[in-house]
Structure 1
Amino acid sequence: MAYYIGTNGLAAFSVINYLHAFMFLAFLGIGSTIQPMISYYYGARKPEMIKSTIRISELTVLSLGALFILIGFFGADFLVSIFGVASDTIADMAATGIHLFFLGYVFMGINFIYMTYYQSIGYIKPSVGITVFRGFILLILMLLILPYFFGINGIWLSLPVAESIVAVVLMVYARKGVMEQGTFERRF
C-alpha cells in the first residue's frame, strides 16, 4: 500500500482493517459453533446430521456475507466516518476499498466452514492447507499481481480474489465429499 499510494493508502487500509476484524470474528464464531456438532456427529456416524449442519452453515455464511457486502456498499461513507477520518482523500480511498474488499466476505464464510469441518473430523492437513492458501500463499500472490494490473483497486481485491479461489475449489471438491458421498472417508 505504501509503495503504490503512500501514507494516505496506509491510513485507508487501517480503517478497512479495523472493520475487517469484526467481520472476520463473525465467521470465526460460526466456525466455532459448528465444530462441536460436526465432531459429535462424526463420532456418532451420523452423516445426515453433518450434511444438515454444513447446509445450514453455508446458508448462514452466505447470507451474512451478502449482508456485509450490502453494508459495505451502502454504508461505506458512514463506516469511514466512525473513525473520524478528516481527509477527503483518505475517506474516498477507504470507501472505495470497502466496496471492493467486502466482496471477499461471501467467500470467506465458506472457507471457514470447510476449515472447521476438516478440523472437526480430525483431518488437519486440509484444514491447515485451506488456512495457508487463503491467508498466505494466494493472498500474497494476489497482492503482488493484482496491483500491477489494477493499481490500488488490485490491493483491495486481493483478499476477495484469494478467498474466492479457495471457496470455489472447496465447493467443487470438499463439498462433493461431504454432501454427495455421505461417507466418512477423508477427501481433499
Structure 2
Amino acid sequence: MAKVSSDDLGSESIGRLLIKQAVPASIGILVMSLNILVDTIFVGNWIGSIAIAAINVVLPVSFFIAALGMAIGIGGSSIISRALGAENKHKALKTFGNQISLTLLVTITMVAFGLYFADGLIPAFGGKGAIFKPAKIYYTIVLYGVPFLALCMMGNTVIRAEGKPKFAMIAMIIPSVGNLLMDYVFIYIFDWGMEGAAWATTGGYLLCFGYIFYFFLSKNSELKIKSVDFRLDLPILKEIGSLGFVTLSRQAVTSITYLLMNNILFDLGGESMVAVYAIIGRMLMFALFPVFGVTQGFLPIAGYNYGAQKYERVRESINTAITYAAIVATVVFVGLMVFPAEITGLFLSSRADMSAEEMASNIFVLENTPAAMRWVFAATPIIAIQLIGAAYFQAVGKAVPALLLTLTRQGFFFIPLILILPIYLGELGVWLSFPIADTLSTIVTGYFLRREVKTSLRIDAAA
C-alpha cells in the first residue's frame, strides 16, 4: 500500500482527491452494509421473519451507544484534520488521546445502564409480543461488544482524518466478512439461532478493534500518542463535545425514530408490519452506501483545507461532492423503483417446513414492502445537498449550524410527520413522511449552505 500523507489533502486536485477518499469509504460502507443486509437475509431464512423484527428492535439501543464512539470520533477528527492543516501536531495528538479515554468512559457506563434496564428498553422500542424473547437474547450478547464497536467507529474517523482512507476501508471490511463467516458457522452449522447471530455480530466488532489497534501501533499512523495524551483536557473535551454532539444528536433522533416507527407500525399491523420496516431499514443502510461514502470522503478534505485557509478548495470540494453524490443517488433511486419486489423476496424464507404463522407473515411482508419501499426512497436523487451541507458545517467546526441542519430531516420534519400523517392516512402516512421530510430538509440545507459559501468561503477571505 502506497505511503499517504495528510499533506495530500491540501495539494492534490479535488476531483481526484475526492475519488481517492470516497471510493475506499464507499467500499468499506458497501461491505459493512452488505454485512447487515446478508446478515438479515441469513436470519430471515434460517431463523424467521420475527427474528428480523427482533434485531430491528435492538439496533437503535446498541447503535446509540456505539454512536457515542462515532460522535467522539467525528468531533475529534474535525479538530485533528484542522490541526494537521494548521501544522499543530501537538493538538492533534492530545485530541486523539482524549478521544480514546472519553470513548471508554462513556460507552462502558452506557452499556452497564443498558443491561440493567433491558426489560424496560426492549418493549419501549417495539419488542412486544413474540418479538420480545429473541430480541432480549440478541440485545444482551451484542451489548457486551458495543464498547469495542464504539472504539472502532472512533478510530475509523481518525484514520480518515490522517488522510488514509484505504486503511479505514480495510477496518470496515474485516468485521463484515468475519461476521458473515461466523453467521454461517454459528447459525447454520451449530444451529445456535439468535445466540449465534448475536455472537457473530460481537465477534465482528472484536476483529475490527484488533485491526484498528494494530494500525495505530504501526508505522502507518502519524499519531503516536503518549500516556500524557490520555489525560482529559477540558478545552479539548468541550470542542470534541460540541462537534460530536451533532453526530450523537443525529443518532439519538434516529433511535427515537426507530422507537416511534416500531410502535406505530406494530399498532397498525403487528409483528409483520415491523418486519416490513426492518427490511426497508436495511435498504436505507445498504442502498445509499455510495452517497455516504462520498460524504465520508468529503469530511477530511473540507476540514483540512478550511484549517489551511484554502477556501477556494473548500468551495470546489462542496460542489464536486454534491455532484458525485447526486449522480450515485439517482442510480440507486432507479434500481429501487424497478426491483422492490425482487429485493424484498431476498429476505424471506422459502423453507418447506414453515409454520402457518410464519408463512402468513412472509406473505404479508411480500405484499406490503415493495410499495412502501418506493415511497421511502422517492426523494433519493436530491438528498446529496442535505448530507453534504450538514457534513460541511461539521467538518469546519461550526457546531451549531451543523447540529440544526443534522436534526432538520428527522427531528424537525420526519418525527412530527409520522405522528400526524398516520392519524389521517394510516400506514401510507408513515411511508409518505420519508420523501416529504427529505424534500423539506434539502430545501432548508441548500439555503444555509449557499449563504455560507457566499459569506465565509469568499476567495478573498483567506487574504
What TM-score comes out, normalization by structure 2 length?
0.37
Distance in 2, matches of 1:119 and 1:154, equals 32
Is structure 2 residue 442 aligned with structure 1 residue 163? Answer: no
In 2, are the aligned partners of 1:139 and 1:158 still within 8 Å (CA)?
yes
Tell me what 1:29 maps to.
Answer: 293
The whole-number CA distance in structure 2 between the counterparts of 1:125 and 1:24 is 26
Shift of 1:21: 1.3
Local SS of the residue matching 2:397: coil
> Could you tell me which residue of structure 2 aligns to residue 92 of structure 1?
367
Q: Match of 1:133?
A: 408
Matched, 1:102 2:377: yes
Gaps of 5+ in 1: none
Residue 55, structure 1, aligned to residue 319, structure 2: yes
Distance 1:176 1:136 in 2: 22
The alignment covers a number of residue pairs equal to 183
Deviations 1:42-75 (A, max 9, x none): 1222222122111111112211221121111101
Distance, in Å, in 1 between the alignment partners of 2:327 and 2:289 is 16
| Residue from 446, 450, 455 that aligns with 1:175 | 450
Distance between the aligned counterparts of 1:23 and 1:47, measured in 2?
32
The 1:52–1:79 alpha-carbon spacing in structure 2 relative to 1, beyond 3 Å, is same
Determine the C-alpha separation between the residues in 1 that align with 2:422 and 2:382: 21
Q: SS state of the match for residue 309, structure 2?
A: coil
The Cα offsets for residues 68-120 of structure 1, whole Å up to 9 and x where unpaired, read as 21111101011101102663332121000111111242343322211210011
The whole-number CA distance in structure 2 between the counterparts of 1:134 and 1:111 is: 9
**2:399 counterpart residue number:** 124
Structure 2: runs of 5 or more not aligned: 1-264, 350-358
Tell me the percent identity: 21
Quick one: distance in 1 between partners of 2:381 and 2:426? 23
Question: Do the aligned partners of 2:273 and 2:365 also contact (CA within 8 Å) in 1?
Answer: yes
Distance 1:92 1:63 in 2: 30
Q: Which residue of 2 is the match for residue 14 of structure 1?
A: 278
Deviation of 1:132 after TM superposition, in Å, equals 2.0
Query: What amino acid is aligned across from residue 39 of structure 1 in structure 2?
Result: G
Corresponding residue for residue 303 of structure 2: 39
The one-letter code matched in structure 2 to 1:141 is P
Q: Which moved more, 1:56-65 or 1:104-113?
A: 104-113
Q: Tell me, in whole angstroms, the C-alpha distance in 1 between the residues paired with 2:309 and 2:278.
A: 46
Q: For residues 382 and 436 of structure 2, what CA distance do their matches in structure 1 show? A: 9
The verdict on how the C-alpha distance between 1:25 and 1:136 changes in structure 2, with shifts beyond 3 A counting, is farther
CA distance in 1, matches of 2:431, 2:282: 14
Higher alpha-carbon deviation: 117-126 or 129-138: 129-138
1:70 paired residue among 334, 352, 377: 334
| Partner Cα distance (1:115, 1:45) in 2 | 20
Contact residue 268 and residue 426 of structure 2 kept, 8 A? yes
Maintained 8 Å contact 1:146/1:155: yes
Equivalent AA in structure 2 for residue 75 of structure 1: F
1:79 corresponds to which letter in structure 2? I
Matching residue of 2:429: 154
Contact 1:107 1:160 in 2 (8 A): no
Match of 1:45, SS?
Answer: coil
Displacement after TM superposition at 1:24 (Å): 4.7
SS at 1:103 equivalent: coil
Q: Distance in 1 between matches of 2:333 and 2:450?
A: 24
1:108 & 1:89 partners in 2: Cα distance? 30
| Alpha-carbon distance between aligned partners in 2 of 1:94 and 1:119, rounded to the nearest angstrom | 35
1:65–1:149 Cα change, 3 Å: farther
Large movers: runs of 4+ above 6 Å: none
Structure with greater Cα Rg? 2
**8 Å contact kept, 2:386–2:446:** no
**How far apart, CA to CA, are the structure 1 residues paired with 2:363 and 2:450?**
44
Kindly indicate whether the alpha-carbon contact (under 8 Å) linking 1:68 and 1:102 is maintained by their aligned counterparts in 2: no
Contact 2:312 2:458 in 1 (8 A): no
